[in-house]
Structure 1
Amino acid sequence: MSAPHHPAATPPARPIRWVGTQGFLVECASLEDVMAVHAHLTAHPERGQRQVMAAAATVLVTFTSQAAAEHAAPRVRTLTPDAGELTGGRIVEIPVVYDGEDLAEVGRLTGLGVDGVIRAHSEADWFAAFGGFAPGFMYCASEAAPFEAPRRNSPRTAVPAGAVAVAGAFSAV
């Protein structure tokens, strides 16, 4: 089933970058656009669509054939996601103990101090925005990011189970 096309409300075309011959990355203007495009293509797959995966600024769409990908590309570039497709989900409360080895550094880097980081992070409503580098790892965002924490110069090679991570405007457990 093909996605509905609304010519009167068509936004400027999103750039795409081909990934091989059977897929492409859709470059989105914002995280909200990523989530809307992902939700739309999940609810209304293009003919021959195999997989759709969201990231921070792109959506990867793969197809069963080159012909299907080529047919879908112009439609996906200009699709107008339905406004109601982002509703739903469920609330998951995750108990957090703020005692990590980087907490004081995050407080210093954000200018909030330890107590300010804890308060800002725990009072924010976070939503799962897109999957990460491992199954079940979700990058979470907030409507109004409580703070921006710079990424580490070198990524960790191991993270304790249940650890809360912050980087940029994202958080993850």
Structure 2
Amino acid sequence: MSTKKDTRRGSGGNVRIGIVSFITLVSVLLLAVLSVLCVTTARATASTASRQADSATGLYEVDAAGQGMLAAIDSQLAQSRSAHESAGVAASRVQLVMPSIQSCALELSGVDDVQINADVKDANISFTIKTTDGRELDAEVAVNDDLTYTVSSWKTSTTQAQTQQNLWGGSGAATGSASN
């Protein structure tokens, strides 16, 4: 009788992984990494879309207030046309009733959180509209001789507060040199 040596080992022995098991393990790990990347990308995209929506909303609020200002100025000029006033007198009348024009502009636009500053020089009306989130509209309107108006300038912009961020808080941050 010949005795064969048993090459099988018990539960504490070597585990042989076949090529199919190895490919499956690598595939599962890759899918896990890709799913984490997908979730991270989706959150970043949602955050960017939200900031873009807020930016567009602020821009539309400023523009709506500006259009309300033009409508209120046109209404005042219409009253001056019916009274057959000159352009200079009409511009002076606009300056006198500017607080009511500003409140009328806010009412027409439906925007609450804006500040309007207006100035009248000769037959030119300039106004600046600012929102609390940093949006700004600078406009200039010229009163024509026939008591209509022409928009000379209409510029929207964004002003942001510059905040300094300390990106490094290590021991070399205050002196500008790194220590070993």
Structure showing greater radius of gyration is 2
Is TM more than 0.5 here? no
TM-score by length of 1: 0.21
